[in-house]
């Protein structure tokens, strides 16, 4: 156990080289900040999305033609409902309407609980419409005509994660806006009471309709869980930034024991510091720097994401065409934070302590003579 005097002297020497240590401190804080912010945003969004897929149907069927989404008709519903294990098939309307004046796409969603001319819009849609003075009602321009609808309600702010770009309409109104026929559907919800039969049923659906896509509830949950895996281009870029910064940091760490610092170690050795003392000194100094930087990085990430709702970074995750006022609910993954600590602090310390040890065991008599 090192004496208080030793620890104080280690801190004294830390401040002597404060510029070098400050550089390491800032870079490491930045790396931890980036990684933690990404982690906090993705965990928070995933938590909300997992809440939203609780009512997800067992199978969602979408049709394609030439690789593009294509409507389905009653025949699909009839054929699929005949499959053993299927208890119900519900057709729904879902598509995108181009708001030409602002060059935006609105997500049109058919909601059977709404009245024929009722319309509920998301926060982002409301703001986009309001910019062109559509405050009370909105005009949908289709190939055939203009559809005028009153804005009845705005979706609650807390549901922004799924409703921001959405316009909820009665299915028939939605068909009119999207230019679909009255007997056409964009998606089919298939209910399969027995979870063990879901796989079989989805295979049978694709057998009957080879161009159809049958997504199970498990697939949907998995997609949410894997939303922010490294495969995403943006996350790759963020992690590359963190990695490059890390290498710059490690290089700086090594330089903390070479050049002038090498002589310093020799001087301390000549005054009676044994090899263990030198290592303890470097360990204390760099533990203070790395742990403080880590704590600061995580705290800044928390404040940035959960108090300020991650400006700029959230646009990377959610796009910025529509104004998005999502608020992130604090979700803390201790395991991953610990991993960041482990894979950050340990190399940080190793890249100083190992060279310091190497220098400490070398011949000090030549070093102190120069």
Taking the complex as a whole, the smallest distance from the CB of residue 144 to another protein amounts, in Å, to: 26
Interface with another protein includes 56 (CB under 8 A)?
Answer: yes
The size of the interface with another protein (CB under 8 A), counted in residues, is: 95
Q: In the complex with another protein, which residue's Cβ is closer, 204 or 261?
A: 261
Q: Where in 217-276 is the site for another protein (CB under 8 A)?
A: 220, 227, 229, 231-234, 260, 263-264, 267-276
Stretches 28-36, 74-82, 101-109, 350-358: which one binds another protein (CB under 8 A)? 101-109
Nearer Cβ to another protein, position 138 or 317?
A: 317
- Kindly state the smallest distance separating residue 229's Cβ from another protein, in Å: 8
Q: Does 4 bind another protein (CB under 8 A)?
A: yes
**Nearer of residues 7 and 206 to another protein, judged by Cβ:** 7
Instruction: CB nearer to another protein: give 211 or 320.
Output: 320
Q: Could you say which residues in the range 301-320 bind another protein, by CB under 8 A?
A: 302-303, 306-307, 316-320
* Nearest distance from C-beta of residue 2 to another protein, angstroms: 9
Under rule CB under 8 A, residue 6 binds another protein: yes
Instruction: Figure out which of the listed residues 21, 57, 257, 262 binds another protein, where binding follows CB under 8 A.
Output: 57
Rounded to a whole number of angstroms, the minimum distance from the CB of residue 239 to another protein is 13
One symbol per residue from 22 to 51: x for binding another protein (CB under 8 A), - otherwise; what is it? Answer: -----------------------x--xx-x
**Binding flag, residue 368, another protein (CB under 8 A):** yes
Which range touches another protein (CB under 8 A), out of 25-33, 66-74, 247-255, 287-295? 287-295
| C-beta of residue 192 within 8 angstroms of C-beta of residue 85 | yes
Letters for 135-174 (x = contact with another protein by CB under 8 A, - = none) are --------------------xx-xxxxxxxxx-x------
Exposure pattern of 22-45 as b/e (b: 16+ CB <10 Å)? ebbbebbbbbbbbbbbbbbbbbbb
Q: Which stretch binds another protein (CB under 8 A): 76-84, 102-110, 137-145, 344-352?
A: 102-110
Q: What is the 3-state secondary structure (H, E, C) of the chain?
A: CCCHHHHHHHHHHHHHCHHHHHHHHHHHHHHHHHHHHHHHHHHHHHHHHHHHCCCCCCEEEEEEECCEEECECHHHHHHHHCCCCCCEEEEECEEEEEEHHHCEEEEEEECCCCCCCCEEECHHHHHHHHHCCCCCEEEEECCCCEEEEECCEECCHHHHHHHCCEEEECHHHHHHHHCCCCCCECEEEEECCCHHHHHHHHHHHHHHCCCEEEEEHHHHHHHHHCCCCCCCHHHHHHHHHHHHHHHHHHHHHHHCCCCHHHHHHHHHHHCCCCHHHHHHHHHHHHHHHHHHHHHHHHHHHHHHHHHCCCCCHHHHHHCCCCCCCCCCCCCCCHHHHHHHHHHHHHHHHHHHHHHHHHHHCCCHHHHHHC
Among 75, 179, 193, 330, binds another protein (CB under 8 A): 330
Nearer to another protein, 108 or 242 (CB): 108
């Amino acid at each position: 156990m090192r004496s208080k005097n030793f620890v104080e002297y280690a801190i004294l020497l830390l401040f002597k080289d404060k510029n070098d240590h400050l550089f390491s401190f800032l870079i490491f804080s930045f790396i931890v900040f980036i990684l933690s912010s990404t982690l906090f945003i993705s965990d928070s969004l995933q938590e909300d999305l997992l809440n939203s897929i609780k009512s997800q149907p067992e199978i969602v069927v979408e049709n394609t033609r030439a690789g593009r989404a294509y409507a389905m008709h009653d025949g699909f519903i009839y054929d699929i409902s005949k499959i053993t294990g299927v208890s119900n098939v519900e057709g729904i309307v879902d598509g995108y309407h181009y708001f030409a004046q602002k060059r935006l796409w609105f997500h049109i969603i058919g909601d059977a609980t709404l009245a024929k001319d009722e319309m509920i819009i998301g926060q982002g849609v409301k703001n986009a419409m309001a910019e062109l003075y559509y405050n009370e009602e909105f005009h949908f321009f289709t190939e055939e005509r203009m559809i005028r609808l009153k804005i009845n309600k705005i979706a609650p702010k807390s549901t922004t994660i799924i409703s921001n770009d959405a316009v909820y309409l009665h299915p028939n109104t939605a068909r009119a806006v999207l230019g679909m026929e009255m007997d056409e559907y964009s998606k089919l919800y298939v209910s399969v009471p027995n979870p063990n039969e879901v796989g079989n049923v989805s295979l049978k659906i694709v057998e009957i309709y080879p161009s159809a896509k049958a997504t199970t509830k498990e697939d949907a949950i998995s997609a949410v869980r894997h939303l922010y895996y490294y495969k995403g281009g943006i996350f790759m870029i963020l992690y590359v930034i963190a990695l490059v910064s890390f290498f710059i940091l490690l290089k700086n760490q090594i330089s903390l024991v070479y050049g002038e610092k090498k002589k310093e170690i020799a001087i301390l050795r000549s005054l009676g510091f044994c090899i263990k003392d030198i290592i303890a000194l470097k360990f204390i100094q760099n533990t203070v720097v790395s742990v403080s930087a880590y704590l600061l990085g995580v705290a800044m990430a928390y404040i940035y994401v959960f108090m300020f709702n991650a400006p700029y970074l959230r646009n990377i995750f959610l796009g910025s065409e529509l104004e998005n006022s999502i608020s992130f609910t604090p979700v803390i993954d201790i395991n991953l934070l610990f991993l960041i600590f482990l894979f950050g602090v340990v190399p940080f310390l190793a890249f100083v302590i190992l060279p310091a040890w190497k220098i400490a065991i070398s011949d000090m008599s030549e070093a102190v003579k120069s």
